[in-house]
Amino acid sequence: MEFVQTSPETKIHLHLVKEPSISESSPLLVFLHYWGGSSSTWYKLTSPNSPSSLSSRYASVSITNRGWGQSTGPTAENGATGKDYSIRPIASDLAAVLQSLTTNEATASIVKNNGIVLIGHSMGAKVALAAHESLSDDLLGLVKGVVLVAPAPPTPLILPPDMSEQQKHAYDTPESVQFVVSNVLSSPELLTQDDIAMVVRDSLAGNLLAKEGWIEHGMQEDLIPVLDRISELPATKNVKVSVLAGEFDVVEQKDRVQSEVVQNLVARGFNVQFNVVKGAKHLIPLEDPAAVARAIEEVSS
């Protein structure tokens, strides 16, 4: 199970880690990356060789969104626009992937017996929330926990035109990506040179529509109506939600995460735990994977 076809032009790449030692009662971890990432973003939590890996206790599937890495998506040649790479189409892909995990030989028994924990980073966090609207009742009942890491808020964010144009070019060249990683996205002393090289490679791998889709559409989408609807569903009432914000994050600042993510969830009756990750900026899965691991353990118990 390396790819799931979710539409004629969309093929989603999955990275499955399933070691023989995993607990028979542990849920399947499903990882969703940020704008510019891939399944590799999560390697410190999924690779058996990583000191902070959870692979000995949990099976995991890391998803690469349409238009990034090895995943394909609708093309401009066939009339697609950035809107085809906004939150709802990506959330629809996720719903299709989760459905496939219930029937795949490698994951079906884990999912059906132990459920799923969704872990979304930044844009991936917004996708994780949006996907609840696309899930069948059976799948909703299998979501046991949600971890939102440096989450993009469910409320619309409309950048000034000059800032929007600047962000569009953040991933144009290796030099521009390295600058953004070192000066905006991370506390570089918390990353290795291999980490930075991986982020540069992943950020350059996105197609143009995938890069534009988040800036022009995804960050502006309003998910508050979605939260209103899913908060009324019995299947979501007891789901634990853990929210992490980086102490020095300038992309999703901790105060805004608390006011626009945490408070919007709490106001709708969700069971939310909020923690600030000391010393980290935006790339928390790489800067402090142990903090993400603790959050996963909390919502899985």
**How do residues 235-262 score in pLDDT, each as one tens digit?**
887 899 999 999 999 999 999 999 999 9
The residues, ordered by sequence, that sit 6+ positions from 263 with a Cβ below 8 Å of its Cβ are: none
User: pLDDT tens for residues 286-295?
Assistant: 999 999 999 9
Rounded-to-integer distance, Cα 67 and Cα 144, Å: 28
Rounded-to-integer distance, Cα 227 and Cα 33, Å: 21
Q: Which range of residues forms the domain containing residue 140?
A: 3-300
- Cβ(52)–Cβ(293) below 8 Å: yes
Give the pLDDT band (50/70/90) at residue 89.
very high
Indicate left, alpha or beta for 279 from its phi (over 0: left) and psi (-120 to 50: alpha): left
Structural domains of the chain, count: 1
Rounded-to-integer distance, Cα 177 and Cα 181, Å: 6
Please state which of the ranges 164-173, 249-258, 279-288 shows the lowest mean pLDDT: 164-173
Q: How far is CA 118 from CA 62, 221, 283, in A?
A: 10, 20, 18
Give the three-state DSSP class for 273.
strand
- Cβ(127)–Cβ(86) below 8 Å: no
- pLDDT reading at 169 higher than 80: no
> Alpha helices of 43-106 — where are they, by DSSP H?
43-46, 87-101
Residue 175: CATH number of its domain: 3.40.50.1820
Please state, rounded to an integer, the average pLDDT across all residues of the chain: 94
| Strand (E) or helix (H) holding 203 | helix 193-204
Closest CA to 203 of 67, 35, 39: 35
Structure tokens at 77: 């040649």
Indicate left, alpha or beta for 17 from its phi (over 0: left) and psi (-120 to 50: alpha): beta
- pLDDT reading at 120 higher than 90: yes
Rounded-to-integer distance, Cα 279 and Cα 72, Å: 35
